[in-house]
Amino acid sequence: MAEVKVKVQPPDADPVEIENRIIELCHQFPHGITDQVIQNEMPHIEAQQRAVAINRLLSMGQLDLLRSNTGLLYRIKDSQNAGKMKGSDNQEKLVYQIIEDAGNKGIWSRDIRYKSNLPLTEINKILKNLESKKLIKAVKSVAASKKKVYMLYNLQPDRSVTGGAWYSDQDFESEFVEVLNQQCFKFLQTKAETARESKQNPMIQRNSSFASSHEVWKFICELGISKVELSMEDIETILNTLIYDGKVEMTIIAAKEGTVGSVDGHMKLYRAVNPVIPPTGLIRAPCGLCPVFDDCHEGGEISPSNCVYMTEWLEF
């Protein structure tokens, strides 16, 4: 009797069946599955068949390959995304993935090149392609105006890239800052004036001339001069510039958590002050402001005897 070699065909040896099983598994574990898990599920499939199935799924764009610290992870790809990438090839998918990972900070083209190891020309072509497909967009960074960072099309760029409330279209809004500056100062000044006129006890006078940053913020919001929503930190940066102008001083007091405007258990108070001394003596002389001071000496082209600035000043 001839022995019939019967190849025991495992029940689902069909490659399509394997793929479907893998996809089901991926749906079960949306965070991704390792090779180990697939092996456990389908112990009768040989490693080679498994690898073939996985490769097919990857090339079809239905699986995502990720690396984790335990090994390789396979994750089901979002079907919508899968549709988008239908026409693209592997390189484009790689670039897209890198940009997606950068989140809302965006990534520079040179960094894309490093991560993907693709040559520059390729990268440029791919980027143009993706842009025309409206999958990514380029955002000009405010730090270096020539640098363009790429991010996904529907993401809002981060504050560090656009500069936040003070920048509109990459331009620093100096007049806006100036106007806010003056308004805050006027508010604090009027407060100090009313406090001084109340003529009470000096301690009370001083305390009532203080305004917390929260109060200033409310005042500015009510004024409505700003089209952009301003937060309390923004107002604090404006008040800091007033401190550097020497017009305002700040103290920090400990406040209970829960009082209005307190941050981390303390509150910042601001108060308008007068300058310590009037403009100093050197400024009253023309020499103090003279631009050619170092060239001036008796008997030279520029000397005190024929100084034009002095003549003008004497004629006042």
**Least CB distance from residue 219 to another protein, whole Å?**
19
Among 43, 276, 300, 301, binds another protein (CB under 8 A): 276
Q: Smaller CB distance to another protein: residue 8 or 203?
A: 203
The single residue among 229, 279, 300, 301 that binds another protein, judged by CB under 8 A, is 279
Stretch that binds another protein, among 93-101, 186-194, 215-223, 307-315 (CB under 8 A): 307-315
Distance of CA 218 to the CA centre of its chain: 26
Q: In what order do the strands lie in the sheet with 248-254?
A: 211-212, 266-272, 248-254
Q: Quote the DSSP letter at residue 260.
A: T
In angstroms, the CA 234 to CA 120 distance is 40
**Alpha helices (runs of H) in the chain, residue ranges in sequence order:** 15-28, 35-41, 47-60, 79-84, 90-101, 109-116, 120-132, 159-162, 174-197, 202-208, 213-223, 232-244, 281-284, 308-314
Q: Which residues pair with 108 in a beta bridge?
A: 149
If the CB atoms of residues 131 and 158 are measured against another protein, the closer one turns out to be 158
| Among candidate residues 84, 83, 77, the one with its CA nearest the CA of residue 22 | 77
Q: Which is nearer to another protein, 223 or 289 (CB)?
A: 289
Residue 173, SS3? coil
Q: How far is the CB of 120 from another protein (least distance, A)?
A: 23
Please calculate the CA angle 204-208-212 and round it to the nearest 5 degrees: 140
**Per CB under 8 A, does 179 bind another protein?**
no
CA–CA distance, 170 with 40 (Å, rounded to integer): 55
∠ Cα 287 288 294 (to 5°): 60
* Number of amino acids touching another protein (CB under 8 A): 45
| Contact between 310 and another protein per CB under 8 A | yes
- Residue nearer to another protein on the CB measure, 149 or 238: 238
Binding region for another protein (CB under 8 A) out of 37-45, 56-64, 105-113, 282-290: 282-290
Question: 216 near 184, Cβ under 8 Å?
Answer: yes
Shortest gap between Cβ of 144 and another protein (angstroms)? 10
Q: From the list 2, 227, 282, 300, which residue makes contact with another protein (rule: CB under 8 A)?
A: 282
Site string for another protein, 219-258 (x = CB under 8 A): ------------------xx-xx-xxxx--xxx-------
Residues 6-35 interacting with another protein (rule: CB under 8 A) = none
Is residue 295 a contact point for another protein (CB under 8 A)?
Answer: no
| Token code pair at residue 309 | 């600035």
Find the binder of another protein among 223, 225, 283, 292 (CB under 8 A). Answer: 283
Least separation, in Å, of the C-beta of 264 and another protein?
20
From 53-61, 66-74, 211-219, 285-293, give the range in contact with another protein by CB under 8 A.
Answer: 285-293
In this complex, which beta carbon is closest to another protein, that of residue 221 or of residue 283?
283
Residue 223 and residue 183 in contact, taking contact as beta carbons nearer than 8 Å: yes
For CA atoms 244, 249, 251, 256, the dihedral sign is negative
Interface residue list for another protein (CB under 8 A): 166, 172, 174, 177, 196, 201-203, 206, 237-238, 240-241, 243-246, 249-251, 273-285, 287-289, 293, 296, 298, 303-305, 307, 310, 314
